[in-house]
Structure 1
Amino acid sequence: MGGGITGALVAHAFATAGISTTVLEAAAVGRGSTAASSALLLKEPDLELTQLTNRYGVRRSRRIWELSHQSVDQLIALLKRRRIRCDLKMRDAVYYATTAQAAERLRQEHELRARLGFESEWLGPVRLRRLTGITGHGAVLTKASAQFDPYRACVGILRAASAAGAHVFERSEVRRIEKTPDGVCISTRHGTLHADRVVIATGYATPRFRPLAGRFRMYRTYVLATEPLDIGQRDDVGLSDVMVWDTERPYHYARWTPDHRLLLGGGDRLVKPGQQRGQHSGTAARDLRAYFDAQLPALATVRTERVWEGLFAVTADSLPYIGPHRRYPRHWFALGYGGNGMTFGSLAARLLLERWQGVKSRDHALFEFARLRRP
């Protein structure tokens, strides 16, 4: 249930394993949060290793980070193996601090990463400016991340899943899910289907799963695309072919597109009750643009050509929920990715397939609902 990048990856994993698989998408595949994403395929989760370690200890935190790294590598390998044309580009990622205090904390984060075996290179202010054009106090550089066109990737993965036997239905909103003696019965406007399990890959708890809504905070994120820049303008901006994001919360990020535009994103805002889509997009876009104009002054003469927003869910520890919930028999969930939907969608496909195959792993407990005690 859900035809975004997570649903696509889960469907591909199950179908290629020889399991009868059907995808039900209420609208059009890949057109929701997937299409709104700027698709920074970062190896590190939203929560820093230091923050995770303070919460869960060294062993569990290291494993969460290992799984995040592996999931990026596996998704990149899948896109290459299936020859999915989605403008996939390998990129280094630069995580930078704009204040001395933030730089000191980031330096400690860098040292912890290195100590736990994660590749991490420290950039001082001079190297940071040379590589990105940004005047900051320090940064961590991570190699072998990636970027791509998320919509084309989603459609390509679904096509590969379909070739492996999966059935994909658009405009098939699920109206009811009922437990049966041997599985579930799923009803849409067009008919019903029976399955052993249903995977909920909608990104967050939809109204159908209202009791779970309290486990998530909903945010809107914003993205700007500039007009294409010529070689001289790119040189003036000073940002090389790396992806950048900052230590602020909410954070900001930027990357180049294949047609030489800059994608500028972030500035996430908590969704409040009754707030309508687009209600604050104008103010958010202006704030986002002002931030990057200050970081990269040469952008002041570059026109913003497109603006859009996306909706995503964040859990209390910024990690997703992947697996069953006691309230919903025969349901498996893959929800709450924060800003790392591409990475954790790949992880969800792997962990849920393991569950189906009866594989027992401590990794499952890291992302279960039970890790955060709630009703």
Structure 2
Amino acid sequence: MSETPFAATDPGDTGAGTPEIMAPGPLRTDVAVVGAGLTGVVTAQLLADGGAHVVVLDADGARATTTARSTGKLSVLQGTRLARIARYGDEVVQDYLAANFAGLGWLRRTLDDLNVPVENRDDLTVASTPEEVADVDAVLATCARQGLAAQWEEDPPYPVRSYGAVRLPGQAQVDPLRMLSALRARLRSRGVPVYDGVRVRQVRRARSGVALRTTHGTVLADRVVLATGTPPGRLGGLFLRLEAGRSLLTTWEVTDPTALPPGFTETMSITAGSPVRSLRMADGLLMVGGEGYTVGRERDPARRLAVLDEWTRVHFPVDLPRHAWAAQDYTSDTDLPLVGPAVPGDDRVLVATGYAKWGLTNGAAAGLALAGRILGDPVEWGPTFEPWARRPAPRTSTAATFGVQTRDWACAATRPSGERPGAPRVSRICPHLGGVVRWNDQEQSWDCPVHGSRFGPDGTLLEGPATEDLARH
């Protein structure tokens, strides 16, 4: 365990304002946006600007969103992601870049209007081993084909020995919670209600639209946008195409800033291979991310944090960590975001997921695509990201998930239960699809290794595709 308590939130926590109370009885609206992270608030803002009546529902609040727990990087380079999706051809990469540039541009303009600071940084994808040079070369070649002003750097400002890097100027970083809080406040100031503490239990399509069963009553809408990381329940079977991952992040006080590599503070970086190390400076603090793992399949998450802490102490002039937290995100079977109809040919329920830990520019882009689709003004690059634009592509991770599921079903016959000090005994059977949850001692949560649902010590649902708490024994 780190020297400081493991926190659930990002260190820039500024709060989310006074929550609005959802009135009893059916609530009717044109569009219900579920999830008030970046994708949800961008979608809602654009829809409201277009004249639609919108309500936003969020299970927790700004502090609990993946957006608030992110590294705050606004970049279109994104490690080796461009090279990975290049297998689909240059046109797909072109659409992906167009989407992310659109998201980045929208965020820059909007945050400037809201007086939220955006700090310009060059982004680096670093080869930390000789084997990673080929991957970084592939990134550089993809950038060159797309006309990006990326360049090879033989000796990047990186604290560990490296074997070169790709540098892309003109990227940025932001305090993600300050950004999200400002966007939410603007939504409310323009009359769009944001209801925190409202969890969606069921999404039911009907002839007249969509009915949402929530913890605070029913919401009836013509359209629904599910901007929740992963769609709740089993809608469209999209949970089968997503892998849930958690990443660890820490911040540190730098005891001797002059000992940092020259130019380090003007960049942000990520390594091309494993173990991933994501670095940037924020408000005088060093932010270090890495040691990611599939939700529920890491037996000792505290060991991962210890490894990250030790690496930081060895390579940086730091003393004690200030904060430690984790973020959860989803990677799709195609390595592309899934933005569009949850069910083929049905625009009543739209989803946005699969950002693979690059959710700020992708999240803003998804909001542009979803709002344009609903308002009848679709973006040109939107079809590339539709969930059913290409066939699902099962991978080795899909087979691993199926193996975990099969083993769990065998165990489920014994209905295992678990109990933590001060909490009631709960069933360890995940209500989503029968996975057997495992205790995460670091985050004090029950985590499902099948599709990434997470629950508190007392079984209360925290996140994931599950829509109900763990049963109490």
The TM-score bracket by the shorter chain reads: 0.7 to 0.9
Indicate yes or no: 2:320 matched with 1:290: no
Distance in 1, matches of 2:185 and 2:124, equals 33
Distance change in 2, residues 1:32/1:48 (3 Å) = closer
- Count of matched residue pairs: 357
Contact 1:173 1:189 (C-alpha < 8 Å) held by counterparts: yes
Find 1:344's aligned residue among 353, 358, 362: 362
Q: Deviation at 1:112? A: 3.4
Distance change in 2, residues 1:152/1:240 (3 Å) = closer
Distance in 2, matches of 1:74 and 1:4, equals 16
Higher Rg: 2
Aligned partner of 1:12: which letter?
Q
Q: Give the equivalent residue in structure 2 for 1:120.
A: 150
Deviations along 1:62-102, whole A, 9 cap, x unmatched? 2212322232122121111232x3x4211111111112332
Contact 1:16 1:161 (C-alpha < 8 Å) held by counterparts: no
Aligned partner of 1:162: which letter?
R
Contact 1:5 1:150 (C-alpha < 8 Å) held by counterparts: no
Between 1:344-353 and 1:8-17, the stretch displaced more is 8-17
Find 1:229's aligned residue among 254, 257, 269: 254
TM-score between the two structures when normalised by the length of structure 2: 0.70
Contact 1:175 1:188 (C-alpha < 8 Å) held by counterparts: yes
Q: Percent identity?
A: 24
Distance in 1, matches of 2:214 and 2:234, equals 13
Contact 1:218 1:314 (C-alpha < 8 Å) held by counterparts: yes
Q: Deviation at 1:330? A: 1.1
Deviations along 1:245-287, whole A, 9 cap, x unmatched? 11014522111111x11110022111246x7xxx633111112
Distance in 2, matches of 1:5 and 1:30, equals 12
Distance change in 2, residues 1:175/1:16 (3 Å) = same
Q: Give the equivalent residue in structure 2 for 1:257.
A: 282
Contact 1:25 1:170 (C-alpha < 8 Å) held by counterparts: yes
Contact 2:77 2:123 (C-alpha < 8 Å) held by counterparts: no
1:1-375 to structure 2, matched below 5 A, reads 1-45=34-78, 47-53=80-86, 55-83=87-115, 85=116, 87-125=117-155, 128=156, 131-207=157-233, 209=235, 211-226=237-252, 228-230=253-255, 233-238=256-261, 239-249=264-274, 251-258=276-283, 260-272=284-296, 280-294=300-314, 296=315, 298-299=316-317, 301-326=318-343, 330-360=348-378, 362-374=380-392
- Give secondary structure in 2 for the equivalent of 1:117: coil
More helix by share: 1
Distance in 1, matches of 2:51 and 2:347, equals 23
Deviations along 1:165-221, whole A, 9 cap, x unmatched? 311101111223332332112232333232110000001233354832111011110
Distance in 1, matches of 2:280 and 2:46, equals 29
Distance in 2, matches of 1:105 and 1:176, equals 43
Distance in 2, matches of 1:308 and 1:334, equals 24
Contact 2:73 2:173 (C-alpha < 8 Å) held by counterparts: yes
Distance change in 2, residues 1:147/1:181 (3 Å) = same
Contact 1:3 1:30 (C-alpha < 8 Å) held by counterparts: no
Contact 1:198 1:332 (C-alpha < 8 Å) held by counterparts: yes
Aligned partner of 2:166: which letter?
V
Aligned partner of 2:131: which letter?
Q
Deviations along 1:152-174, whole A, 9 cap, x unmatched? 21111111122233111011112
- Give secondary structure in 2 for the equivalent of 1:207: coil
Q: Deviation at 1:57? A: 1.0
- Give secondary structure in 1 for the equivalent of 2:64: coil
Q: Deviation at 1:137? A: 1.0
Distance in 1, matches of 2:48 and 2:231, equals 25
